[in-house]
Structure 1
């Protein structure tokens, strides 16, 4: 007899790196929420960071390919060998470089079920970089080596279709958030808030604005620095700004904060794997990026009970009005953010209607429930099973030399 208990589906996720960015944290949540019969391993082409540590703590094998650059073609045979030796049924790639190398290596290793999740694609920009004819050509050539591309939003789906990817090769499966991780008793949330404010050097009674994401130009965190200058008055009172994330713009943001005279009210947390907890230390999330493929940070802040001001969030654009109370879309300029944040501070002060660091008593908003990772993980798991039926898994394993035909 064959079945899921006897024939687990072996999945290898190939990702460019495992620093704590949106796509990387999404991969962690996905692996945690796939069906039990699907066994995952992860390989990072380079830079295994905090997400790699979290995966390993969960018991997920993580491989580091130690790739030295985009043109390190020696990584291809290493990745091909890893896939072949691991006897994987399905290879799932994440991010541009991993999509190029991972899909080619999977085909060379004889794996037919190959898919990619497109986390960050716009008509003229991919992962924050302009799309040149060469980049687009490589992308489309690699796409044809796979079976399916998963779009995380309708905006990404439309872009893929506009690039010429046939609709039959695109599946719309959104990102998800771990809604259960935000469901803490009020007293526990308040204790976490106090602890993290102390750790970050924030006065307990201060009003704190937060930004969440990689420190890259596309996030436009400089807009928040300029808005902070307008909000900070003389004396010790005034708001603070906390930026949660790491990236190449860190030094530039620190220099800009010095120029604007607000460096003393800026906290840069660096790369963290406790984002849901960190959000309890904030009062409002500000997201001035104008180019997002999903808007994961906005949803995380909404789950944490924060007021949100943002300039782009396709995930919310696809939902009915009223699904995200406390969220407002505004123009991405310093004057607008300063005005909106000043109004929020005046109307709510340091204590939101939901209490410090938690969702309203009525429960999570509809948008949070819609994007719950438990539902998203089940949907992706069902796609895996369609791509690799159990009977085909049993047949392929039986053909492998030296492998028993019973057992996983």
Structure 2
């Protein structure tokens, strides 16, 4: 089976890194095409032996890119076209139809009740999404929460399949050696209490809540912002205004895979170096960072994480939902700090989200749509 994965870009984001991890476990011959921005994840895919093509799309009005994409699909003689992220889903579905490929699967990574991929939803986005969705055979929702939103939008239930994101839990298992090495790399005292935030530095992640919480916590508490993005400057200025710039550190983008970038520790190593994770975003589609932190045995404070809220509470006892702002996060972090380190074993929730299981479920979808049958209804 030949599968072409089309994605909007290949920066070090959650959807992009999930695609790379998935391709290591899919028993199919997979190529990847990115519309724009081949970044760290593109380099990682190439290192894994995956063929990556950059379409060099010039923007939403680059009609020529649609024709180039259709030619690429036709030349590759792909059995399945699998699209990821909004622009890739819109253009990929149209191009696949132009190329004569009707077996099109899309994964909806970033749909929320009020936003899509960090942008506010509007009628135009919704109309275009639904119009092109009809050109595909199946839409994969990464959580029951996302599946419910798709049905509310009008996507027929027979075309929706819930397949949660997966993780390689063993890679994130707590390691005392990696903890000491990562702390030494970033100059973090061994006795400091280190809180981390993981994700793109964008306004919707609300990392400013964690920065403000840091100002309310004792001087031995440090904050590690793990990621890059347009909010970096504002967050740095905020820390300066609050007088805590010397207690906050930004790591830039880190890869989740086995190859650390430019000598820096990789994400699993940095998670071992933390004592808690804060995830204050008001709206997440899945909550992959929270799940990876749980795999590292960390207590997780979150505002939105369907990966956790869709499960029984007892399956993730180290996760706590915080409904307030900086004061609420600071209050719980102080309690955790005073209580001292706990067991760093991964909870049951982590075992529910293995990447191997995700890959098997996706192969079942490919087989079903290739046979011309409808999917079984998802909850």
TM-score in terms of structure 2 length: 0.93
Which SS does the other structure have where 1:371 is aligned?
coil
Residues in 2 aligned to 1:70 and 1:264: alpha-carbon distance in whole angstroms: 42
Q: Which residue of 2 aligns with 1:6?
A: none
**1:94 is matched with which residue?**
84
**Are 2:195 and 2:277, in contact at CA under 8 Å, matched by a contact in 1?**
yes
Q: Which residue, 273, 277, 299 being the options, matches 1:285?
A: 277
Q: Which residue is equivalent to 2:258?
A: none
| C-alpha displacement of 1:334 | 0.4
- Take 1:332 and 1:29, find their aligned partners in 2: how far apart are those partners? 34
Q: Which runs of 5+ in 2 are unaligned?
A: 256-265, 373-379
Q: Does 1:366 align with 2:348?
A: yes
* Alpha-carbon shift at residue 384 of structure 1 (Å): 1.0
1:55 counterpart residue number = 45
Q: 2:126 aligns with which of 95, 120, 136?
A: 136
Q: Is 2:254–2:267's contact at 8 Å kept on the other side of the alignment?
A: yes
Task: State the secondary structure of the residue aligned to 1:276.
Answer: helix
How far does the alpha carbon of each residue in 1:164-192 deviate from its partner, in whole angstroms, 9 at most, with x for none? 111111111111111121347xxxx2221
Structure number with greater Rg is 1
Is residue 380 from structure 1 mapped to residue 362 from structure 2 by the alignment? yes
Whole-angstrom distance in 1 between the partners of 2:270 and 2:158: 40
| 1:306 and 2:292 aligned | no
Q: SS of 2:176's equivalent?
A: helix
Structure 1 stretches of 4+ moved >4 Å: none
Q: CA deviation at 1:73?
A: 2.0
Distance in 1 (alpha carbons) for counterparts of 2:207 and 2:342: 27
Please report how far the alpha carbon of residue 272 of structure 1 lies from its aligned counterpart in structure 2 after TM superposition: 1.1
Does 2:221 correspond to 1:239? yes
SS of 1:322's equivalent in the other structure is helix
Please give the alpha-carbon distance, in whole angstroms, between the structure 2 residues aligned to 1:264 and 1:320: 39
Match of 1:353 among 342, 350, 358: 342
Residue pair 2:96, 2:104 contacting (<8 A) in 1 also: yes
**Is 2:192 aligned against 1:206?**
yes
Measure, in 1, the Cα distance between the counterparts of 2:25 and 2:203. Answer: 32
**Structure-2 separation of matches of 1:107 and 1:246:** 36
Name the SS of the counterpart of 1:91 in structure 2.
strand
Residue 227 of structure 1 is matched in structure 2 by 213
User: Whole-Å Cα distance in 2 between the matches of residues 315 and 208 of structure 1?
Assistant: 24
**Distance (Å, rounded) in 2 between the aligned partners of 1:14 and 1:154:** 24
Match of 2:12 in 1: 20
The question of whether the paired residues in 1 share the 8 Å contact of 2:30 and 2:50 is answered with: yes
Cα deviation digits, residues 330-371 of structure 1 (max 9, x gap): 1240000111111110001xxx223xxxx42xxx32111101
Match of 2:202 among 201, 216, 221: 216
User: How far apart, in 1, do the equivalents of 2:36 and 2:187 lie?
Assistant: 33
Are 2:74 and 2:100, in contact at CA under 8 Å, matched by a contact in 1? yes
Distance between the aligned counterparts of 1:321 and 1:208, measured in 2?
Answer: 25
Mapped to 2, the partners of 1:248 and 1:107 lie a distance apart of 36
Q: Which of 267, 276, 287 is the aligned partner of 1:275? A: 267
Q: Structure 1: where are the runs of 5+ without partners?
A: 1-8, 391-408
Task: Give the conservation status (yes or no) of the 8 Å contact 1:283–1:306.
Answer: yes
Deviation at 1:44, TM superposition (A): 0.9
Match for residue 11 of structure 1? 3
Instruction: Select 2:157's aligned residue among 167, 180, 185.
Output: 167
CA distance in 2, matches of 1:329, 1:378: 31
**What's the offset of the Cα at 1:210?**
0.2
SS at match of 2:88: helix
Distance 2:113 2:338 in 1: 39
CA contact (8 A) 1:295 1:312 kept: yes
Please give the alpha-carbon distance, in whole angstroms, between the structure 1 residues aligned to 2:166 and 2:324: 25
User: What whole-Å deviation, never above 9, does each CA across 1:251-287 have from its counterpart, x for those lacking one?
Assistant: 1111111111111111111111022222111110011
Worse-matched range after superposition: 152-161 or 122-131: 122-131
Q: Is the 8 A contact 1:223 1:332 kept in 2?
A: no
Equivalent position of 2:377 in the other structure: none
Q: Pick one of 94, 113, 123 that aligns with 1:104.
A: 94
Counterparts of 1:253-272 in structure 2, within 5 Å, are 253-272=235-254
